[in-house]
Amino acid sequence: MPNHNPNSACIDIRGLYKTYGKVHALEGVDLAIPPGVIFGFLGPNGAGKTTTLRILMGLMRATAGHATILGLDAWRDSTRIRRDVGYLPGDARFYGWMRGTALLAFCDRTRGATHHAEISRLIDAFGLDARRRIRDYSAGMKQKLGLIQALMHRPRLLILDEPTTALDPLVQETLYDELRDSAKRGQTVLFSSHMLSEVERLCDRVAIIRKGRIIENATVGELRQRATTELAVRRVEFTLRNGRFPELPSALQGGPSGDGRWSGHWRGPLDGLLPWLTRLEISDVMISAPSLEDLFREYYKDDGATSAERKAV
């Protein structure tokens, strides 16, 4: 890609707005994704993930703001950008009358017909029966086909919209390995997901979007740290000897999980929790840092406040 500094952001989004009539899908998204990272893009349905990815792919035009990929304008230069980008749409659909091999050959021809070896390797790696007609494929097989067509030309940037949908755990592992290898080769991976566990396992950085705004953009480690220090949330689990649950302080939320066991979350400084626990007859207790899932839940209770806004409060 000409004129692109390899050290500058692979994706640079500034003040991105998108409205559909009266609906504001994006409200000033700012995001910079450095090269060579696996970047997780998290958010619930309707938060603006897919709209952002579609603007990046040149499928939609932003109402305001600017998005560049590899130094090129996402709308104006979209054809040039796509030479170096692999894209998996959220709900990948194909031509049912084609066989898997024919579809991959078609995609390859548009890219110069030079990726036959990589296509064969990926077909083997994902265990796809590419000789069958696509109309006979299961949802998982279609997803594999979509992934192969996105990965086959070893693009500098991979944009994957919920790539693990419909994949069984073994194929998910294969995909994770492929993505880790891609990042090792210097490729950048941007993927959206609802699966917090895979984001935790795979990503170098994470952005969380809510109601069209980025409310968090940090490394997974920073997010965990932030959960403990800023949100002051801890996971609490204990087992009662007598099985009688006491009245809970307001900072503790949760409920019995069976066999006299209780689990929930404590919000606030620990010096409020420890004296309360000592008054109980408990056989064991565990206080741990929150998982990314806990954090995610906290963010979505928080009416879209960014980390900066929370600090200000």
Partner 1 sequence: MNLALMRKTLADYGLIWLGALVLLSGFVILFVFATHSVPMEHSREWLQLPWVKAFLQAMVGADMTEGFSPTGITSFAFSHPFTWVVLVTFMLTLTSGVLVGEVDRGTMDLLAGLPVSRTAIYASTSAVIVLMGLPLCWAMWSGIALGRRAVGDDDIAMDRMQAVAWHLFVTYVYVACFAMAVSAFSKRRGNAIAFAFAAIFGSFVLNFLCAMWPAARTVEWLSFLHFYTPLPVARTGEIIQKHMLILLIGAAAWWTLGLVVFRRRDIHAA
**Which residues would be at the binding site for partner 1 (CB under 8 A)?**
50, 54, 57-61, 78-80, 82-83, 85-95, 97, 106-107, 109-111, 146, 149-150
**Least CB distance to partner 1 at residue 167 (A):** 18
**Least CB distance to partner 1 at residue 271 (A):** 50
**Least CB distance to partner 1 at residue 18 (A):** 9
Q: Which is nearer to partner 1, 99 or 234 (CB)?
A: 99
Q: Which is nearer to partner 1, 85 or 206 (CB)?
A: 85
Phi and psi angles of residue 34, each rounded to the nearest 5 degrees, phi first: -70, 160
3-state secondary structure 256-312: EEECCEEEEEEECCHHHHHHHHHCCCEEEEEEECCCHHHHHHHHHHCCCCCHHHHHH
- Residue 185: both structure tokens together: 């080769």
Instruction: Tell me which residue of 21, 204, 147, 203 sits closest to 137, measured CA to CA.
Output: 147
**Least CB distance to partner 1 at residue 69 (A):** 13
Beta-bridge partner residues of 190: 39, 159
Residue whose entry in the numeric block shows the structure tokens 């031509």? 95
Q: Which is nearer to partner 1, 91 or 281 (CB)?
A: 91
**Least CB distance to partner 1 at residue 307 (A):** 30
Strand 205-210, strand 38-42: pairing: parallel
Q: Which is nearer to partner 1, 93 or 244 (CB)?
A: 93
Question: Alpha-carbon distance 6 to 95, whole Å?
Answer: 37
Asked if 100 contacts 138 with a C-beta cutoff of 8 angstroms, the reply is no
Sort 147 into a burial class: Cβ within 10 Å, 0-12 / 13-18 / 19+.
buried
Q: Which is nearer to partner 1, 138 or 242 (CB)?
A: 138
Q: Which is nearer to partner 1, 62 or 183 (CB)?
A: 62
Kind plus residue range of the DSSP H or E element containing 161: strand 157-161
**Least CB distance to partner 1 at residue 9 (A):** 21
